[in-house]
Structure 1
Amino acid sequence: MNQPAEPMKITSPTLHATILFTIAVFSVVLVMSFIFRIEVVARGQGRVVPVDRVQVVQPEYSGRIVAIHVRNGSRVEKGDVLVELDPTDAMVELQTITEERDRLIIENARIEALLTLLAGDIQHSIAPEETQSRIEIPSDLAASPFLIRQRALLEAEIADIQASLAQIDARENALRKSEEVTKANIDRVESALKTQAERLSISERLLQQEVVPLF
Structure 2
Amino acid sequence: MGALEIVLLPCLADNYCVLLHEPESGETAAIDAPSAEQIKAALTQRGWRLNHIFVTHHHTDHTGGIAELKAFYGAAVTGPAAESERISGLTRVVTSKSELEFAGHPIQVLETPGHTLGHVTYYFPEDGLAFTGDTLFSLGCGKVFEGDAELMWQSLSRIASLPGDTAVYCGHEYTLGNARFALTIEPENDALKK
TM-score range, shorter chain: under 0.3
Structure in which a larger fraction of residues adopt strand? 2
Greater C-alpha radius of gyration = 1
Structure in which a larger fraction of residues adopt helix? 1
State TM-score, norm by structure 2. Answer: 0.21
